[in-house]
């Protein structure tokens, strides 16, 4: 599997994505600068986390108009898989690849912790290595992760299997902070209609190393390699 990671001024998780993809595939991904206008021929495009343009206007809004995003959108239209993580979720949503918007966290504070999630749909290469309903733990680190869309769109996302992950409390239900940011319907990540694009706020690329105490993100990258190689 060949992958490219788009880097913006303010990206800070691109190296984590490189490590996760290289460990899963044995192949180092391309790093593509946001001002480039072409992408190499790849099977997967990753838009990583960080603070593109310092989040000065609205998270992801400026990056969504970077030159490379025209090519990302064109490749997505051709069926190339696109993974947007955290700020990457904000960017691809602002670019129109996914519905809705990411707003300030409900508590108006930056949140950084390990979060429990429930896998809602496994009919995609991003989630095929998980079991439906499986509880996983991914780190989160965001101030603008409050996913919002209208009620009709939420109903459509649910009905068409486009909700990928939801925030939940831990398995014992001892942690009341199931939804960390106020996202509508506890949504943590969504697919496009064809399930070829995934955007999520939590960081699977930071849950792939046993020495870090958590490997719940490895199946995502292993599944992508298995499906796209």
Helix (H, G, I), strand (E, B) or coil at 53: helix
212 DSSP assignment = G
Our answer to whether residue 205 is catalytic in this structure is yes
Residue 178: per-residue pLDDT: 86
Q: How many CB atoms lie within 10 A of CB 132?
A: 11
Q: Express each pLDDT in 152-200 by its tens digit.
A: 999 999 999 999 999 998 765 555 568 999 999 999 999 999 999 999 9
Tokens of 40: 């190499």
pLDDT digits (tens, 9 = 90+) for 21-34: 999 999 999 999 99
Q: Which residues contact 227 (CB under 8 A, 6 or more apart)?
A: 125, 128
Q: What pLDDT is stored for residue 171 in this prediction? A: 63
Q: Give the pLDDT mean for 107-119.
A: 94
Structure tokens at 50: 């960080």
Give the number of other Cβ atoms within 10 Å of residue 34's Cβ.
Answer: 22
Residue among 14, 34, 86, 142 flagged as catalytic: 86
Say which residues have a Cβ less than 8 Å from residue 172's Cβ, sequence separation at least 6. Answer: none
Q: Are 131 and 122 in contact (CB under 8 A)?
A: yes
pLDDT of residue 219: 98
The residue-averaged pLDDT of 128-138 equals 96
Our answer to whether residue 203 is catalytic in this structure is yes
Active-site residue 226, yes or no?
A: no
Q: Dump pLDDT digits (tens) for 48-103.
A: 999 999 988 889 999 999 999 999 999 999 999 999 999 999 999 999 999 999 99
- pTM (global) more than 0.85: yes
Q: How many helices (H) and strands (E) does the chain have?
A: 5, 11
Indicate the angle between helix axes 14-25 and 218-228, nearest 10 degrees.
60
List 14, 94, 120, 205, catalytic entry: 205
Contacts for 152 with CB less than 8 Å, ≥ 6 apart:
none
């Amino acid at each position: 599997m060949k992958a490219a990671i788009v880097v913006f001024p303010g990206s800070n998780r691109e190296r984590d994505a490189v490590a996760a993809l290289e460990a899963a595939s044995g192949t180092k991904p391309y790093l593509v600068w946001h001002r480039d206008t072409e992408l190499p021929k790849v099977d997967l495009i990753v838009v990583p986390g960080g603070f593109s343009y310092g989040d000065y206007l609205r998270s992801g809004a400026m990056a969504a108009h970077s030159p490379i995003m025209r090519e990302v959108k064109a490749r997505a239209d051709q069926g190339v898989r696109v993974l947007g993580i955290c700020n990457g979720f904000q960017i691809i949503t602002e670019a129109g690849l996914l519905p809705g918007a990411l707003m300030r966290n409900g508590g108006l504070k930056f949140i950084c912790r390990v979060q429990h999630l429930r896998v809602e749909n496994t009919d995609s290469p991003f989630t095929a290595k998980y079991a439906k309903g499986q509880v996983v733990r991914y780190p989160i680190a965001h101030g603008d992760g409050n996913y919002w869309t209208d009620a009709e769109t939420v109903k459509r996302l649910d009905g068409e299997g486009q909700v990928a992950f939801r925030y939940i409390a831990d398995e014992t239900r001892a942690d009341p902070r199931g939804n960390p940011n106020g996202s509508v319907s506890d949504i943590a990540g969504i697919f496009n209609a064809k399930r070829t694009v995934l955007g999520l706020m939590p960081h699977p690329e930071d849950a792939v190393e046993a020495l870090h105490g958590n490997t719940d993100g490895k199946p995502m990258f292993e599944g992508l390699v298995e499906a796209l190689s």
